Amino acid sequence: MKAVSVSSAAISNAMRYSQTRMQVDLVKAQKEMDSGRVADTGLALGARSAQAVNFHRDLDRLNALVDSNALVSARLKSTQDSLGQIVSVTQDLVNALTVAVAGDSPDSVTAKSGSTMLQSLTTILNSSMNGEYLFAGTNTDVRPVEDYLDPASPAKAAFDAAFHARFGFTKDDPAAADISAADIESFITDLVEPQFLGAGWEANWSNATDQTIVSRIALNETTPASVSANNEGLRKAAMAAVLAYEAFSGNLGEEAKSAVARRAQALAGEAIADLGQLQSQTGIIQNRVSEASTRINTQIDLFERHIIDLEGVDPYEAANRVNDLMAHIQTSFALTARIQQLSLLNYLT
């Protein structure tokens, strides 16, 4: 009696389960073909989703680092340019002083070259980028140096006070002509030097901090990325300019003037050497930043490839899958229709 056992319900429902599965797969394959990524990364990767999430996040961070490195590079480039300008104005001063030492130029010209140098130095040191003063150390919202030629300048007042304290009269006093070379030299060493190379610089001249801006340039690398106006080369350059300006704008005698000029010339020379070193240090940092960016870009490429390895699908494969599935679904529709017609009832009259 029960020879074969297949029920009519089973026959008509035979395709139903596989039909729904195929349709679900078709939707997935279509999505994958469109996006080039697996339809549901979480389901496809499971526990490895954490890896994919980490890759995505690191990729974002690396891109952010490249952006921030561009800012750091711009700052360093401006710093480098400014240092170059300072070297060139200091060089001008050295030239003027060389002529002055030989006694071949009028005082006013030498004094003028001193004051020009001061003006340029102040302007350059006070240059800013993105609203941050370049040479301010970390104190970037305050102008690093005040104008020495301003009558209200505390630096100028301190210099005049020191002169008066040492000699009992101002440099414009006729008595100044009698100051000996030895006296003026000891004045420079004892009273002027501390104002520039000692504590007086930060008290009267500079608002900058010794600490410079530190920036992160790679995932695990930070670097100082600015130059402070408190750098020794800059102090020496300022001192040379002030000496030239003050000595040649007062009433000092020839002997004293030439002693000051020699001292200023030597200082300016040292300043140029120091600034050169500073420039090369800055150059090294610039190089580090650009190398870090290059390295990060390589990493970005690598990470993108990893992400594609994890989440990507072969679009040709996806396209083939869509075609296969469509063919299968059509076959199964056709079969269902034929099976429905297949009934003994059609032959019973």
Interface region with another protein, contact rule CB under 8 A, candidates 136-144, 147-155, 189-197, 265-273:
136-144
209: contact with another protein by CB under 8 A: yes
222: contact with another protein by CB under 8 A: yes
CB of residue 142 to another protein, shortest distance in Å: 8
- For residues 254 and 291, which CB has a smaller minimum distance to another protein in the complex? 291
Interface region with another protein, contact rule CB under 8 A, candidates 1-9, 98-106, 185-193, 279-287:
1-9
The phi and psi torsions of 127 (rounded to 5 degrees) equal -70, 150
Q: Which of 27, 34, 36, 43 binds another protein (CB under 8 A)?
A: 43
Farthest CA pair distance, the chain: 146
Structure tokens belonging to residue 311: 């989440």
Site string for another protein, 114-133 (x = CB under 8 A): ----------------xxx-
Are 59 and 308 contacting, i.e. CB atoms less than 8 angstroms apart?
no
137: contact with another protein by CB under 8 A: yes
340: contact with another protein by CB under 8 A: no
- Angstrom distance (rounded) from CA 310 to CA 32: 14
What radius of gyration do the chain's Cα atoms show? Answer: 40
Are 240 and 271 contacting, i.e. CB atoms less than 8 angstroms apart?
yes
How far CA 248 is from CA of 79, 94, 108, 241, 256, in Å, comes to 31, 15, 7, 11, 10
Are 169 and 136 contacting, i.e. CB atoms less than 8 angstroms apart?
no
Site string for another protein, 50-89 (x = CB under 8 A): xx-xx-xx--xx--xx-xx--xx-----------------
Helices then strands, each counted (H, E), the chain: 11, 4
Residues at the contact surface with another protein, assessed by CB under 8 A: 1-2, 4-10, 12-14, 17, 41-51, 53-54, 56-57, 60-61, 64-65, 67-68, 71-72, 130-132, 136-142, 209, 211, 213-216, 222, 226, 343-345, 348
